[in-house]
Amino acid sequence: MARFIVRRLAGMVLVLFAVSVLVFAIFNLIPNSPPAQRLAGKNATPTLVKSIEKDWGFDEPLPVQYFETMKKIFTGELISYGDQLNVDERIVEGIPASFSLAIGAAVIWLFFGVLLGFLSATRAGGWLDRAITIGSVAGISIPVFLIATLFLYFLTYKVELFPASGYVPLLENPIQWAYHLLLPWFTLAILNIGFYSRVLRSNMLDVMREDYVRTARAKGLDERRIMIRHVLRNSLIPIITLFGLDFGATLFGGAIITEVIFSLGGVGQYAAESITNLDLPPLMAITIFGAFFVVLFNALTDVVYAYLDPRIRLGSSAQ
């Protein structure tokens, strides 16, 4: 197990390096316009462009440029040329809102996804299964901004049930925090509720065909116990991998549209504003951190996965 974790973490570092190189390439190497000009933004003065060129080492060899760029991002020296603000500081400011949104949505989608998937699989072929199946495919087909605008129009404007926007810090007022986040949570969760219930349903139907489920039945276990202890337990293992990827992706990258529409002021909204202003440094940093979260959570879930499957957990120590 220990060896597995070490190997997995070493792999993680390699992927992180590759990710940073790709981000560097996207923002600094894509041809057809001088990178300093692009970083400076649309209305930059020639003096600014000159100083950026020097500051980022655009006249130096590529490895030096790469190193300079990464140093800026990771030491908090990165400045947005649009509003002259420190990028990393703005990102840190946005983290409470972004994490609150992502974590709450993840809890909701995991709960409802597993519940609906379980109901659907254990009643496969029945009317409830059909209803859930149709609901799930609708859930994965509906664009996030359509859910968000529908919520806004009907639940905050037509019927004033919820606040339309804003983030209230958890420590300031937990009830207002949840109240303000409820619509964004569901907006973000609906898509994944659909996905997770579909994935779990098909996993469970596969597991139901396993020999050990037949064994469990032949032992005289009751159907509920078979479904929960044998079928659900084994079907959840692949869901964990999926969840790691999705949650990692949601932290910085997955919630942009939701954050924008509900004006939560998180990292995603910062990214969206940067697109409008064609302000590249914040995008560069957010992209790299966003990918880092995916890689990190992917590695973490691999470890959890290994722990949950004794064949992997004991595999390395037994030999």
Partner 1 sequence: MSPGALLSARDLRVGFATEGGLLQAVDGVSFDLAAGEVLAIVGESGSGKSVTAQTILGLTRSPNAEIGGSVKLGEVELLDASDAALRKVRGERIGMVFQDPMTSFNPVYRLGSQIVEAIRAHRGDVSKAEGRARAVELLDSVGIPDAERRVDDYPHEFSGGMRQRAMIAMALALEPEVLIADEPTTALDVTIQAQVLRLLEQLNRERGVATILITHDLGVVAEVADRVMVMYAGRVVEEGTLDEIFYDPQHPYTWGLLGSLTRLDRPRPKRLPQISGAPPSLLSLPRGCSFRPRCPHEFGKCEEMPGLEARLPDAPSHCDRCWLSPEQKREKRQVGGRIGLEAPA
Partner 2 sequence: MAFEPQPDPALPAGEPDEGFPAAPGGVDAEGHNPWYLAYRRLRRNRLALASLALFGLIVVFVLAAPLWATHVAHTGPNTTHTTEKITVDGEKREVVDVEGKPIGPVWFGAGGRFFLGADGGLGRDEMVRLMYGGRTSLFIGLTSALITTILATILGLLAGYYKGWTDGIITRTLDVIWSFPVVLLGIALGTALAVGGLKIGPLELSGNSIWIPILIIAVVYTPYMARPIRGEVLAMREKEFVESAVAQGAGSLRIMFGELLPNLWSTVIVFFTLNIANNMLLEASLSFLGAGVQAPNSSWGKMVSLGAESIYTSPLLAFAPGILILLTVLSLNVFGDGLRDALDPRSKVRLTRAEAAESAAGGAI
**Sign of the CA dihedral running 126, 131, 136, 137:** positive
Integer Cα distance of 74 and 77 in angstroms: 8
Q: Taking CB under 8 A as the criterion, which residues in 129-168 touch partner 2?
A: 129, 137-138, 140-146, 149-150, 152-153, 157
Closest CA to 193 of 229, 237, 246, 148: 246
> Interacting stretch for partner 1, rule CB under 8 A, among 36-44, 158-166, 186-194, 232-240?
232-240
Q: Is 107 in the site for partner 2 (CB under 8 A)?
A: no
Q: How far apart are CA 181 and CA 200, in angstroms?
A: 27
Of the residues 177, 283, 301, 302, which one makes contact with partner 2 according to CB under 8 A? 283
Q: Which is nearer to partner 1, 197 or 234 (CB)?
A: 234
Instruction: Figure out which of the listed residues 199, 230, 239, 254 binds partner 1, where binding follows CB under 8 A.
Output: 230
Q: How many CA atoms lie within 13 A of 264 on its CB side?
A: 34
Q: Segment contacting partner 1 (CB under 8 A): 36-44, 71-79, 264-272, 306-314? A: 306-314
Binding partner 2 by CB under 8 A: which of 57, 238, 265, 315? 238
The reply to whether 246 sits near partner 2 by the rule CB under 8 A is yes
Binder of partner 1 out of 2, 159, 171, 218 (CB under 8 A): 218
- The H helix count followed by the E strand count for the chain is 16, 0
Residue 111 interacts with partner 2 (CB under 8 A)? no
Distances (CA, A) of 314 to 3, 5, 57, 281: 11, 13, 50, 46
> Which span sits near partner 2 by CB under 8 A: 45-53, 59-67, 174-182, 255-263?
255-263
Q: State the Cα–Cα distance between residues 203 and 114, nearest whole angstrom.
A: 11
CB of 219 vs partner 1, minimal distance in Å: 4
- Out of 61, 219, 224, 276, the residue judged to bind partner 1 by CB under 8 A: 219
63 is a contact residue toward partner 1 (CB under 8 A): no
Give the tokens for residue 157. 């404007």
Q: Does 233 bind partner 1 (CB under 8 A)?
A: yes
The answer to whether 264 and 101 have CB atoms below 8 angstroms apart is yes
Task: Calculate the CA 239 to chain-centre distance.
Answer: 15
Which pairs with CB-CB distance under 8 Å and at least 24 residues apart come from 228-237?
231/121, 231/204, 231/207, 232/118, 232/204, 234/207, 234/210, 235/121, 235/200, 235/203, 235/204, 235/206, 235/207, 236/114, 236/200, 237/305, 237/308, 237/309
53, 93, 273, 309: which one binds partner 1 (CB under 8 A):
309
Binding part of the chain for partner 2, among 49-57, 175-183, 290-298, 311-319 by CB under 8 A, reads 290-298
User: Which of partner 1, partner 2, none lies near 190, with the C-beta cut-off 5 to 8 A by kind?
Assistant: none
Contact string (CB under 8 A) for partner 2, positions 32-51, x = contact: xx----x-------------
Pick the piece of the chain touching partner 2 (CB under 8 A) from 15-23, 94-102, 174-182, 308-316.
Answer: 15-23
The answer to whether 234 and 90 are in contact (CB under 8 A) is: no
